[in-house]
Structure 1
Amino acid sequence: MITPRELKELYKQGENISAWLRREEGVAHNTREIIEVAYDLQSGSYVSAMDDPTISAHKREYAIEISKLIRSLCEPESILEAGVGEATTLSGVVKALGSTVASYGFDLSWSRVAVAREWLENQDVQNTVLCTGDLLNAPFASNSIDVVYTSHSIEPNGGSEEAILRELYRVAKRYLVLLEPG
């Protein structure tokens, strides 16, 4: 059994932790535990990347486009980013939509949610509630959020897409927006 320190060292060396753990466990798809471990190890990396002006500008443009897409669908009272990570996307979406929209985010990784809280505070983004949760069991009531969206959150969960979509549709009151690769 590998220790957390050894995993962290592999991550620092550029090893794909999810792939490494899948090989070790003999599974074809990421498990909840594999995803959580991989994201805990990389917590802080998305916020650190925002120090790069090119990445920051791209993320800002991306968030503005998401907000335009949401506004083309409706004027939401509430939004939720499922798999919020470090909230580097959500912060820009909230800024673009304005402070009257109640915003929420959840992520499997407590470490990333902690980084996200600090990021939102530093970005002066308010009216946002973050929590931990699983895409297969979102911590929100049915039909409770006007617009639920993902941004590269479903992709690491290969093999669970249908169940995740059912769960996100359960929470969405009006729209579900998927921003996923491939």
Structure 2
Amino acid sequence: MLMYILNTELTKKTDQLLTKIVNLTEARDQLVNKSMQLTKERDGLLSSNRDLIRDQLHQEKNELLKNGWIYYQSNLYFVSSEKKSWTESRRYCMERGVDLIIINNRGEQDFVKKISANANVWIGLTDIDVEGSWKWVDGSTLTSGFWDPREPNGHRGENCALTYLPGWADYPCSDLFLWICEKSILK
């Protein structure tokens, strides 16, 4: 009789455990299905978001191109037709949500010469904070550049950089030159 009672209790416990296993398996399967559904939904939203961003960038790019901006390697450039000081030039760019150009490589330097028709133009480079320590307008330090061999010479408070035919030169920030604004369309 004792064996029968123990066996019955064991069977009950086994049935309860099996029921729990079945319930947990069903719950796990529901969670797996929900996870797959959410993953699919997330992927769809990411795709829609990418498409929306691409379309907005395309629209913004086309609008800027209509307004005289020039496209080159994922960036848009605006070359001024009037002359301003370096500070006024930068302010002009910043009021439009952009900044003076940062020249990253030889290709971009050559592009700048081309679009500026070899005119002297302000670029986003200055050593106004610490003489001889050239920084770009984004705060990064100049590591290499395209200076004219005689530049920078730091004469008479020359703390702002511009491009001209032989290379870059430092000039007084108050001098008036054309300038180039740069906008990355990837940001």
TM-score (norm 2): 0.24
Select the structure that is richer in helix.
Answer: 1
State which structure, 1 or 2, has the greater radius of gyration over its C-alpha atoms: 2
TM-score (norm 1): 0.24
